[in-house]
């Protein structure tokens, strides 16, 4: 999987990015099943 990401063959779909202090909101968003791709939390 790492090779696919490194080569660009695999591209994760990013749905939404949250700041670390928005962790509770990110969790609520995840529980709502509204996302299409990955949910990221910036550290």
The pTM score is 0.74
Q: CB–CB of 38/13 below 8 Å?
A: yes
Query: Is the predicted pLDDT of residue 36 greater than 90, yes or no?
Result: yes
Give CA–CA dist 3/11, Å, rounded: 11
pLDDT tens per residue, range 3-32: 998 999 999 999 999 999 999 999 999 999
With cut-offs at 50, 70 and 90, classify the pLDDT of residue 40. very high
The DSSP output letter for 36 is S
Sign for the CA dihedral angle at 31, 37, 42, 43 comes to: positive
Q: What is the pLDDT of residue 1?
A: 86
At 40, which helix (H) or strand (E)? strand 38-42
Give CA–CA dist 29/43, Å, rounded: 18
């Amino acid at each position: 999987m790492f090779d696919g990401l490194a080569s660009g063959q695999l591209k994760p779909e990013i749905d939404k990015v949250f700041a670390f202090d928005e962790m509770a909101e990110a969790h609520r968003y995840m529980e709502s099943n509204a996302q299409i791709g990955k949910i990221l939390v910036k550290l």
